[in-house]
Structure 1
Amino acid sequence: MNLQDMPPPAPTRIESPLPDTTPGKPFKETAPDGFILGGFTWRHPSSDATRPIVIINAATSVRCRHYSRFADYLFAHGFDVITYDYRGIGESRPASLKALQASWTDWGALDFEAMLKRAQREFPGQPIDVVGHSFGGCAAGLGASGHLIRRLVTVGAQFAYWRDYAPAHRWRMFGKWHVLMPLVTMIYGYFPGKRLGWLEDTPAGVVRDWSLSTARYEKRPSGRAISKTTGQLPFAGVTAQTLAISISDDPYGTVPAIERLLGYFTGSTNSHLRIHPEDIGEEEVGHFAFFRSAYQATLWPIALAWLQNGELAPDTPGRRVPRS
């Protein structure tokens, strides 16, 4: 039997992101290299130079539609909002993933950069804020125009260094994401995540970045490329007021993982808020649940307050993690 003829492994149940919801108005945007990206815009009818525009960066292989309820919430509180899919995902998926050359750095340096430029063009003069989930927080530091970001909120943001995974889950996660995922990708030419029930189908270059076991982003395949070209990674160009939110039962977003990524944002004023589920009367939250509407009354106001004022309310649940 040829490798291409082999059936995929049996589906495995994992924590799933929130279900799709009705998005805003669709748009197409051309990335700097000519790739056509798809997304959605929530825009108020009247222009206002004081109204912030928020770009939402998705997690790896999670469709932008999954953040529509959160976008609705921000829109209802006076923000304009952009959601979009990275190349290869959802609204930005080409006919074939096998031929797509795409990496984590492409998602940040090209796709997120295109959204920064779109926000600047379509919402002239308005402050630009960003919300980044998981890798979406890393992508926020990869755009050449990162200096445009006024405020940044990240949720469980890291770049999947396996030793940072929660100890109780580390070896299972290593086997899944750093052994099985690249092996299946070698067989199919891309990662067939939807067939497995493991998020969205994912380009091979992104899988290479995710699965390589190195503690430094610039040592990842696409990180090496960008640092070799420019001499450094662009994170330091971000001068935003930055809030990193982590949840204690998130096996990806541990304190070491969050702090590892924050260490790249040397030009920002950074705060790290650590929340335990019991702080908001819950037994578990995990990596995906922050953006579910069930947390509109408990978790979403934390991000909202930071985007509105650049500070946390006195009664914010959780505790600040001391910066080393």
Structure 2
Amino acid sequence: MTQVHSEPVSFNCDGHLLRGTLSRVEAPRLLVLINGATGVPASFYLPFARWLAEEKHAAVLTWDYRDFGASGSPYRSDTTMTEWVTRDPVAARAWLRAQVPDVPLWVIGHSLGGMALAFQPDTDTIDRIITVASGHGHITDHPWPFQARVWALWYLLGPVATWLLGYFPARRFGLGNDLPKGVFWQWRRWLLARGALPADRRLGGLRDPGYRGPITLVAMEDDVMIPPRCVWKMAGWHPNAQIERRLLVPADHGLAAIGHVHPFSARNSAVWPSLIA
């Protein structure tokens, strides 16, 4: 059995110290960067990362965005989604590439982590992109009754709580770890605007000509946050890529549910081979 070593690491981006974990085997033949979802700390992805390092004989980096998780506190932060989309993942990719030069690089992006890739420079250095539960969504794309919950969240509960506290108490709403206020407000605008991320001028627009390599768009049949039809729409963000669409059905893997966050959960490890196939 291949032995996997995991060690804490850190790297700098714009004066912010970003922290994560590098899980690797000796003499890795592949690099994998995992860009997480909004509100999901890097520690959540560690079991998957260790499995992937062994499975693909790889070095796998899990890491946290600035002022979130192990990379700092959200409570007095001015950070926005713009930094999480256009700055931090680029720094993480450069740091990982420097650790083991001259081997292929994959990027696996979960939700925000996958959507962000269309707005980043130098993606031509990536050999393969896999996005999981990432898509072009609007508040009306959520199925009922979940849609009723998000109307209340984005128009009432979230704004009031963020104004009062100075940060978004995501944990109280079952949306992962607490978030900087600027992250909440920008996230909210994306979900309430038909144009979503491509319409946000602060992201600099979709990169042109953009990524030209292979992209696998993975959707979960039971994902109420980013339903499959929203995942498929993201193909339009990458007009020059080679797109593969992959739908994961819980019953096909002997599972009752997968959902938006839990494709990477250890309890759903039965789907992991399908994520990277």
Tell whether the structures are fold-level matches, with TM greater than 0.5. Answer: yes
* Alpha-carbon offset, residue 174 of structure 1: 2.3
Query: After TM superposition, which residue ranges in structure 1, 4 or more long, deviate above 6 angstroms?
Result: none
Paired AA for residue 54 in structure 2: A
Q: Does 1:130 align with 2:111?
A: no
Q: Does 1:209 align with 2:181?
A: no
Paired AA for residue 193 in structure 2: T
Paired AA for residue 87 in structure 1: R
Q: CA deviation digits over 1:132-183, x for unaligned, max 9?
A: 1111111222321222111111111125521221244212222224532122
Larger of the two Rg values belongs to structure: 1
Aligned match for 2:44, one of 63, 66, 71: 66
Is the contact made by 2:167 and 2:179 (CA closer than 8 Å) also made in structure 1?
yes
TM-score by length of 2: 0.89
Identify the residue that residue 123 of structure 2 maps to in structure 1.
146
SS at match of 1:181: helix
| Alpha-carbon distance in structure 2 between the residues aligned to 1:259 and 1:236 | 19
Cα 1:151–1:92 shift into 2, 3 Å = same
Identify the residue that residue 30 of structure 1 maps to in structure 2.
12
Cα 1:154–1:193 shift into 2, 3 Å = same
In proportion to residue count, which structure has more helix?
A: 2
Paired AA for residue 61 in structure 2: I
* Alpha-carbon offset, residue 199 of structure 1: 1.1
SS at match of 2:92: helix
| Alpha-carbon distance in structure 2 between the residues aligned to 1:84 and 1:159 | 24
Identify the residue that residue 268 of structure 2 maps to in structure 1.
295
Q: Does 1:42 align with 2:23?
A: yes
SS at match of 2:121: coil
* 5+ long unaligned stretches in structure 2: none
| Alpha-carbon distance in structure 2 between the residues aligned to 1:34 and 1:142 | 21
| Alpha-carbon distance in structure 2 between the residues aligned to 1:251 and 1:195 | 19
* 5+ long unaligned stretches in structure 1: 1-22, 306-324
Identity %: 27
| Alpha-carbon distance in structure 1 between the residues aligned to 2:18 and 2:136 | 23
Aligned residue pairs, count = 270
SS at match of 1:140: helix
| Alpha-carbon distance in structure 2 between the residues aligned to 1:159 and 1:93 | 28
SS at match of 1:141: helix
CA RMSD across the alignment: 2.1
Q: CA deviation digits over 1:241-283, x for unaligned, max 9?
A: 1111111111012123212323212231111112222222322
Q: CA deviation digits over 1:178-217, x for unaligned, max 9?
A: 5321221111111122355541110111111221211223
Is the contact made by 2:123 and 2:211 (CA closer than 8 Å) also made in structure 1?
yes
| Alpha-carbon distance in structure 2 between the residues aligned to 1:198 and 1:190 | 13
Q: CA deviation digits over 1:94-132, x for unaligned, max 9?
A: 4x632x222222112110000111122112112110111
Q: Does 1:275 align with 2:262?
A: no
SS at match of 2:127: strand
Correspondence 1:165-244 to 2 at 5 A: 165-195=142-172, 197-212=174-189, 213-218=192-197, 223-227=200-204, 232-234=205-207, 236-244=209-217
Aligned match for 1:82, one of 61, 69, 75: 61
Is the contact made by 1:41 and 1:82 (CA closer than 8 Å) also made in structure 2?
yes
Paired AA for residue 282 in structure 1: L
Is the contact made by 1:235 and 1:266 (CA closer than 8 Å) also made in structure 2?
no
Cα 1:136–1:286 shift into 2, 3 Å = same
Paired AA for residue 85 in structure 1: D
Paired AA for residue 16 in structure 2: F
